[in-house]
């Protein structure tokens, strides 16, 4: 069956990538390990090829129904060219750039991101690039969005970069992408998994298989519901802020006579509340007209 072929192909991938090793061990115990579903990809993991590890793990699943079909394997990020990887990173950055901190999609991007970018991705880049990034804006070292933003900005403005920064990043796309994926080997897989909820959006259909797009439909519905709720919250907050602004600018009475009991001689003017502080600063004798109890006459 196709599932058996996928399993066999997974073993071949491991054999080729490790120069002759088998994921299920030596010949003596191999058959028993296959029956038990016990394999080891340790030799591949130590090389840092985590994308290949993730791919082969899905191909060697003990339950045949859980193994990916051939069309899904064909579009797996492990087989992407550097140009395609860069285009994906740019599309993701554009998609999440304006999202609020509470958005469903941004939560997926930032969730468990430590294994992809560490505690602070700025510590992993070279001083030359770090200094250039600080010239124009502040980047949060613990956010995937900010790392993708930095990649996008440097790619879009590559020709304007100083010569030493260009030399550090290398040529676009191959060396440029390698600069970042060598430092963050799980970034592509992490981002790819998080963005599957957008698999049916026009910009992302080319990156996901038909099988993955079907799986993404439920996530897309959940994301849409979350965005509607978020919009309602923002609308409510906007109304509150508008009401507060109206109250703040409400006109009040100001008197120019320090003796507020002498209301007959007081000259009353009306000004916006927002201007009271400025006027009071210029003339300390001016203050709000407020009610207070009259002193009893003896």
User: pLDDT in tens for each of the 298 residues of the chain?
Assistant: 589 999 999 999 999 999 999 999 999 999 999 999 999 999 988 877 888 999 999 999 999 999 999 888 999 999 999 999 999 999 999 999 999 988 999 999 999 999 999 999 999 999 999 999 999 889 999 999 999 999 999 999 999 999 999 999 999 999 999 999 999 999 999 999 999 999 999 999 999 998 889 888 877 777 777 666 666 666 676 667 677 776 766 654 555 555 555 555 555 555 555 555 555 555 555 454 444 555 555 5
Q: Of the candidates 227, 257, 287, which is a domain's last residue?
A: 227
- 78 vs 72: CA distance, rounded Å: 11
Do 185 and 94 belong to one domain? yes
Task: Name the 3-class secondary structure at 141.
Answer: coil
Q: Of the candidates 43, 68, 93, which is a domain's last residue?
A: 68
**Structural domain of residue 117, as residue ranges?**
80-227
Work out the number of other CB atoms within 10 angstroms of the CB of residue 68.
21
Supply φ then ψ for residue 181, to 5 degrees. Answer: -70, -25
Helix (H), strand (E) at residue 288: strand 287-288
- 8 vs 59: CA distance, rounded Å: 8
Task: Please give the radius of gyration of the chain, using alpha carbons only, rounded to the nearest integer.
Answer: 31
Task: Give pTM, 2 decimals.
Answer: 0.73
Do 200 and 135 belong to one domain? yes
- 193 vs 109: CA distance, rounded Å: 9
Q: Of the candidates 40, 68, 96, which is a domain's last residue?
A: 68
The answer to whether the beta carbons of residues 119 and 142 sit under 8 Å apart is yes
Work out the number of other CB atoms within 10 angstroms of the CB of residue 127.
8
């Amino acid at each position: 069956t196709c599932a058996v072929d996928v399993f066999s192909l997974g073993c071949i991938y491991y054999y080729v990538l490790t120069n002759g090793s088998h994921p299920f061990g030596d010949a003596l115990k191999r058959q028993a390990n296959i029956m038990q579903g016990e394999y080891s990809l340790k030799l591949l993991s130590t090389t840092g090829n985590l994308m290949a590890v993730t791919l082969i793990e899905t191909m060697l699943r003990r339950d045949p129904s859980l193994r990916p079909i051939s069309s899904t394997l064909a579009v797996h990020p492990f087989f992407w060219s550097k140009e395609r990887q860069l285009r994906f990173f740019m599309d993701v950055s554009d998609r999440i750039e304006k999202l609020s901190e509470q958005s469903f999609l941004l939560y997926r991007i930032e969730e468990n991101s430590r294994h992809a970018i560490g505690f602070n991705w700025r510590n992993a880049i070279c001083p030359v690039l770090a200094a250039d990034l600080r010239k124009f804006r502040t980047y949060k070292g613990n956010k995937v969005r900010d790392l993708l933003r930095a990649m996008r900005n440097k790619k879009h403005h590559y020709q304007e970069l100083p010569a030493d920064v260009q030399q550090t990043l290398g040529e676009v796309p191959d060396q440029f992408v390698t600069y970042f994926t060598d430092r963050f080997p799980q970034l592509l897989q992490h981002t790819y998994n998080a963005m599957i909820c957008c698999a049916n959006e026009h910009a992302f259909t080319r990156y996901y298989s038909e099988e993955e797009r079907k799986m993404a439909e439920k996530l897309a519905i959940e994301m849409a519901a979350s965005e509607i709720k978020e919009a309602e919250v923002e609308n409510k907050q906007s109304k509150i802020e508008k009401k507060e602004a109206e109250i703040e600018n409400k006109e009040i009475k100001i008197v120019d006579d320090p003796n507020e009991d002498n209301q007959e001689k007081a000259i009353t003017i009306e000004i916006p509340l927002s201007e009271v502080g400025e006027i009071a600063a210029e003339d300390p004798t001016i203050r709000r007209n407020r009610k207070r109890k009259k002193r009893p006459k003896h």
